[in-house]
Structure 1
Amino acid sequence: MPGIFFGLSTLILTLILTPEERIFYVEHILIKTNLKGINLNTLPGLRGWNFLLSRIALILQTIIYLVLLIRISIKHEKVINNYFSNTERKKINWVKNLGYIAFAVSLAAIIFALLGRSYFIHHNLSLLMPSAFFTTLFFLIGYKGNIQSQISERLYESEHEMIKEGNVSSSTDDLKARLLNLFQSEKIYQLNDLRISTVCKALHTNRTYISKLINDEFRMNFNEFVNKYRVEEAKQLLRSKVNNKYTMEYIAQQAGFGSVASFSRVFKEIEGTTPGNFREKNSLKMD
């Protein structure tokens, strides 16, 4: 709506300006950004203030949408962690990071705007700064968006599905016991593409209910819960002399990780060391 308003007002004011007034506006207001000399009683002055207010509106909109973008990406990350055990190429952290970058670029754009066109007219090479900023940003948006995996699953349940949680016959303690059995005895975490929906089907329960159980009882999300078991499985494999001949790809696959990169990252986050260093230390102990 602000864009439509300022677009129409700009068009109307530009059309009613005389050729002389347009030249005056371009030279003294647009190029030199001589805001102090803007007289509201003249058409060029009105056009100048319209231009200034449109910039302010753009800045405010940019800040608001960037804040919303960052909030949505954070919310999405929480949902992803509560749905998937392997989150590679499913998270949109890059959107949040680009939001921060775009915010920084917006501040830079404000500075460039305050410097005015006259500054860049006399410093031609300085035009490389805003050009490099925006070109890099647009490239990153396109690149990251292109490699982002599409999530076909419906991550949010309807109210009707959520109400069903009240019909779950199992008590919290019973469901918790069956959940632990599913992971400790049946080792469901070894499934490479394990999702919370798979666990729900195995336990005949609701996704919202099982997610709340994991969050409340274990103080972690689904992704953290699964990775805890996978890392413990990997540690057992890495400690075994028999498995010393196997590659990290094999260890990662046996533990349920989607890739070696994911395995190494999660292992280091939990254990504070890499799988290779862990195996090396435990090999020395066995020797």
Structure 2
Amino acid sequence: MKHILVETNLKAINFNTLPGIKGYIFLLSRIVFILQTIVYLMLVIRLSNQHNKTINQYFSNTEGKKMNWVRNLSILAFAVSVAAIAFALLGRSYFIHHNLSLLIPSIFFTTIFFLIGYKGNMQREIFEMLYEQEKDNVDEEISDSPENDLKTRLLKLFEHDKIYQVNELRISTVCESLLTNRTYISKLINDEFEMNFNEFVNKYRVAEAKQLLLSRENNKFTMEYIAQQAGFGSVASFSRVFKEIEGTTPGKYREKNSSKMT
């Protein structure tokens, strides 16, 4: 047992003996560990990406709701796995003869597990909000009328009523306003405008922000005020989304177009 399991000396193992069987299990467990690590990391990345896509279909402000940290920690988890494999290959005998070297894997794994727990506890609970009951309130007479077409009413809700200015706007709020359910609205936005709900709302918010930035009346106001008026949850979210759409920050956009202020 000491020769095979502790010192990891697997040369000339006789699988017909009890120590040989233990050595075989020893090797098999490490192979299973490596395969399991690869499979789970792939699943974690896939599920986190699916989650982020789903969030974009439900919420206009996704701060604290996305799980990008899971993907980032998965990369760290891969590093953990590589380190664990390396430590396993070194074998128990190495650490038996080098007691202080145990600090390396101990500190490494403890730090990673702490980050996973910390980030997990910081994640906002959104599942109850996501899977709310959908209301099938579509009125056929309203839907069949050209002037009350769902697309027309949706555009009116955003362009005239400016519902995008609601800070925590959700697709369920839009559904209630239009007397329809999420499936219809989501499909309409995806098919007709080729974007998800989050992108659709942010398009209007950025357009509103651009008007505010180029208004001399609003030139004295801070970015916090403009972000709030446009419907963004924070200045950080406002700056990030604005740069994604316009290719520049709100501040630089205002400076560049100062001559166009009205």
Shared topology, TM-score over 0.5?
yes
Change beyond 3 A, Cα 1:171–1:73: farther
Please name the residue that 1:282 is paired with.
257
Are 1:32 and 1:117, in contact at CA under 8 Å, matched by a contact in 2?
A: yes
Q: Does 1:92 align with 2:70?
A: no
Query: How big is the shift at 1:153?
Result: 3.3
Change beyond 3 A, Cα 1:42–1:122: same
Paired residue type of 2:87: F
Query: How big is the shift at 1:44?
Result: 1.7
Please name the residue that 2:51 is paired with.
76
SS in structure 1 at match of 2:11: helix
Q: Distance in 1 between matches of 2:237 and 2:93?
A: 51
Q: Distance in 2 between matches of 1:212 and 1:46?
A: 58
SS in structure 2 at match of 1:82: helix
Query: How big is the shift at 1:130?
Result: 2.7
- Which region of structure 1 is more displaced relative to structure 2, 75-84 or 91-100? 91-100
Q: Distance in 1 between matches of 2:140 and 2:82?
A: 52
Which of 55, 63, 70 aligns to 2:38? It is 63
Alignment: residue pair count: 259
Q: Distance in 2 between matches of 1:268 and 1:225?
A: 16
Please name the residue that 1:268 is paired with.
243
Change beyond 3 A, Cα 1:152–1:67: closer
Query: How big is the shift at 1:41?
Result: 2.0
- Which region of structure 1 is more displaced relative to structure 2, 134-143 or 48-57? 48-57
- Which region of structure 1 is more displaced relative to structure 2, 127-136 or 262-271? 127-136
SS in structure 2 at match of 1:245: coil
Q: Distance in 2 between matches of 1:115 and 1:135?
A: 20
Paired residue type of 1:111: A
Query: How big is the shift at 1:273?
Result: 0.9
- Which region of structure 1 is more displaced relative to structure 2, 51-60 or 86-95? 51-60
Change beyond 3 A, Cα 1:74–1:152: closer
The 5 A counterparts of 1:149-228 are: 149-156=124-131, 170=143, 174-228=149-203
Please name the residue that 2:28 is paired with.
53
Percentage of matched positions with identical amino acids: 74
Change beyond 3 A, Cα 1:251–1:48: same
Paired residue type of 2:50: K
- Which region of structure 1 is more displaced relative to structure 2, 68-77 or 177-186? 68-77
Normalising to structure 2: TM-score of the pair?
0.89
Are 1:252 and 1:260, in contact at CA under 8 Å, matched by a contact in 2?
A: yes
Query: How big is the shift at 1:142?
Result: 1.4
Structure 2 runs not aligned, ≥5 long: none
Query: How big is the shift at 1:157?
Result: 7.0
Q: Distance in 2 between matches of 1:37 and 1:130?
A: 30
- Which region of structure 1 is more displaced relative to structure 2, 29-38 or 219-228? 29-38
- Write the deviation string for residues 168-205 of structure 1: whole angstroms up to 9, x where unpaired: 66259721111111101110000001000000111111
Normalising to structure 1: TM-score of the pair?
0.82
RMSD, matched Cα: 2.5
Please name the residue that 1:20 is paired with.
none
SS in structure 2 at match of 1:40: coil
Which of 113, 123, 134 aligns to 1:138? It is 113
Please name the residue that 2:228 is paired with.
253
